[in-house]
Amino acid sequence: MMPILIICVIGGSIGLSAGLFGIGGALIATPLLKMLAGLEPMLALATPLPAALPSALSGTYAYYRERLIRFELIPPILFGAVPANVVGTLLTKHAGGNSMMLYTGAFMLLVGSTFFIRGWLLREAEEQEHVQTYSLIATGIAAGFLSGFLAIGGGLVMVPAFVRLNRMKFKQATATSMFCVAVLSIPATVGHAFLGHIDWSTAGLLALCSTPMAFLGARLAIVLRNQTLERIYGTCMIVFACYFLWSQSGTP
């Protein structure tokens, strides 16, 4: 009973974070499934992926109703992301994983720090959007590769890139990322399922609990100010990055 309860709590947590911040939530779930639910490392890595699709679709629907998704930006993103996702997934069978986990944790800490500084220490200012096709393709490649290689949604790359490089509003960045996470979860899930990296009973329970929470997180994000979201995002990213790095530092 206790593992089931733990998995339900993890599912709710990743769903809420997915809806709020436009990330798949798998990166948060991986160490929790490994340490609290006792899953083997590769199973903990990829099992959250099937849950990313229904939870991302749930959050996407909430954002779609508010017309926050930038559909015109999605084709170049997916043009780079989908093939990179396949490559990243296939490379997992050749990688040890721990060093990449540490690099990802360091990246999370860097991203979280920039949002923390901007959200808490700088005034919220109107910035002119500056979208370039090449930056969208590059963002897609980076997000797609990490989505496949580390079995994450890819929003960890997309949201900061949309806000920093393209100067999109945080809510639009989150909404657009959420849609892309839903798409990228499909090839990543198929690839990792083929490699035998998914515990389907756990994945089903995660999906059941994360889907309604993703919708709730998206609705909450819609009513919050952009600066408030950046503050929450930056603070949560820093806290979790520090915890993630600490938890991974002793992993063989």
Radius of gyration of the chain (CA): 17
H/E segment holding residue 167 = none
Q: State the Cα angle at 186 between 155 and 98, rounded to 5°.
A: 55
Alpha-carbon span 31 to 35, nearest angstrom: 6
pTM of the full structure:
0.83
Does residue 160 contact residue 48 with C-beta atoms inside 8 Å?
no
**Joined tokens for residue 62:** 């909430």
Domains of the chain: which residue ranges? 2-249
Spell out the per-residue pLDDT of the chain, length 252, in tens.
558 888 999 999 888 888 888 776 676 787 778 778 888 878 888 899 888 889 889 999 999 999 999 999 999 999 999 999 999 888 887 766 566 667 767 877 887 887 788 778 655 556 678 888 999 999 999 999 988 887 777 887 898 889 888 888 888 998 999 999 999 989 989 988 998 889 999 999 999 999 999 999 999 989 888 788 878 888 988 988 888 788 777 655
Contacts of 28 (CB under 8 A, 6+ apart): 13, 14, 17, 240
Residue 222: other Cβ atoms inside 10 A: 17
Q: What pLDDT sits at residue 87? A: 93
Using alpha carbons, select from 70, 15, 72, 25 the residue that is nearest to residue 217.
Answer: 15
192, amino acid identity: H
In the block, tokens 């990688």 appear at 95
Tokens of 147: 């989505």
Nearest CA to 108 out of 197, 2, 9, 236 is that of: 236
Per residue in 60-82, pLDDT tens? 999 999 999 999 999 999 999 99
CA distances to 11, 37, 42, 149, 195 from 94, in Å: 29, 25, 12, 10, 12
* Token output for 110: 């860097």
Measured in degrees and rounded to the nearest 5, phi and psi for residue 87 equal -60, -45
